[in-house]
Structures are given as structure tokens and as C-alpha cells.
């Protein structure tokens, strides 16, 4: 997949969008807990737990990226389950930062078929696998999360010629 668009997300934007997700989920039911998909789901899960007053948090640990491509982004590899979660997900929120191709989402859905799957961002290929999300972005967009970036000087646009 070639990514033609870049979508940087700041900490403030991520916090705002995570709170928006919490608003959508808060009155749906009494949640037993949250299962975060590592690593991307950890920060949104922490924000949801605070906003929704949920104390039970578990993780499903999956590796889906392997080698690094020339531009520093990682290429998709085979899925590897490092740690699962008990049960079938009934009454649980399954949380990730985004659903992209849907490969990880489909795999986790099979592990936890009764969980409510929520993400902040959704791309068209994975969107049908998510129960609740906040923002849809195009499939050719690379989302740059704040934990993947650091502040640095940016050349003014006029000087980039």
C-alpha cells in the first residue's frame, strides 16, 4: 500500500478524539472493562478508562509490523499473538487507535467475538469491522500518532522549493 497523504495527530487532538469516543460509548451499556490492543490502543484505553470510570483494563498483545521500509515506516508482516485476553469479550470494550486494512481487527474479532470494538480512526477497508469510531480517513493516509513523533524545526513552505 502506498501512502500518499500524511495525517499528523497531536497529543491534544488525540485526547480530544479519545474523549469524543468516550462520549459515544458512555451510555451504551455498563462496561465490565477495557481490552486495549497493544501498542496503539494503550493511550486511548487509558483516556477512555478515566472518562468512563472503568478500572478493569486488560491487553491483547499483537505484533503486525515487521521490517522497516526506506522512509522509516514499518511494513506489515504476519500477525503474531503475544498475549491474549480471557473470555469471549462479552461486556468488554476492545480499543485500538485505528483500524486500517482490518487484518488485525478481524483476527482480534475472532478471539473476542462478543467485545464491542471501538477505535478513534477508521479507514474504509477496516471500517466494517469496528462498532464505534470517531473519524474516518482515506485508505492512502498514514496517521502519525504523537508517540511516533518528536518536535523539530520545520522548513517554511516557501523555502522548500
Domain count, the chain: 1
Q: Which of 6, 53, 71, 100 is catalytic?
A: 100
Q: Does some domain include residue 9? A: yes
Compute the distance between CA of residue 52 and CA of residue 41 in angstroms, rounded to an integer: 16
Asked if 53 is an active-site residue, the reply is: no
Q: Does some domain include residue 156? A: no
Asked if 6 is an active-site residue, the reply is: no
Asked if 96 is an active-site residue, the reply is: yes
Q: What residues make up the domain containing 105? A: 5-145
Q: Does some domain include residue 13? A: yes
Residue where the block lists cell 487507535: 97
Q: Does some domain include residue 134? A: yes
pLDDT digits (tens, 9 = 90+) for 127-154: 999 999 999 999 999 999 999 988 888 8
Low-confidence ranges of the chain (pLDDT < 50): none
pLDDT at site 72 = 54
Q: Which of 6, 27, 58, 97 is catalytic?
A: 97
The domain spanning residue 81 has which CATH number?
Answer: 3.40.50.2020
Q: Does some domain include residue 154? A: no
Q: Does some domain include residue 107? A: yes
Q: Assign 46 to helix, strand or coil.
A: helix
Q: Does some domain include residue 150? A: no
Amino acid at each position: 500500500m502506498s501512502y500518499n497523504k500524511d495525517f499528523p495527530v497531536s497529543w491534544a487532538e488525540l485526547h480530544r478524539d479519545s474523549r469524543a469516543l468516550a462520549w459515544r460509548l458512555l451510555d451504551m451499556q455498563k462496561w465490565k472493562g477495557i481490552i486495549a490492543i497493544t501498542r496503539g490502543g494503550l493511550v486511548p484505553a487509558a483516556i477512555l478508562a478515566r472518562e468512563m470510570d472503568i478500572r478493569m483494563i486488560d491487553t491483547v498483545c499483537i505484533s503486525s509490523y515487521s521490517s522497516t521500509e526506506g522512509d522509516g515506516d514499518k511494513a506489515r508482516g504476519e500477525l503474531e499473538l503475544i498475549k491474549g485476553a480471557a473470555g469471549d469479550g462479552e461486556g468488554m470494550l476492545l480499543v485500538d487507535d485505528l483500524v486500517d486494512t482490518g487484518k488485525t481487527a478481524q483476527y482480534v474479532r475472532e478471539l473476542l467475538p462478543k467485545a464491542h470494538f471501538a477505535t478513534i480512526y477508521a479507514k474504509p477497508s477496516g471500517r466494517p469491522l469496528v462498532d464505534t469510531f470517531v473519524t474516518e480517513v482515506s485508505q492512502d493516509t498514514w496517521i502519525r500518532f504523537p508517540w511516533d513523533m518528536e518536535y523539530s524545526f520545520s522548513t517554511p513552505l516557501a523555502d522548500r522549493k
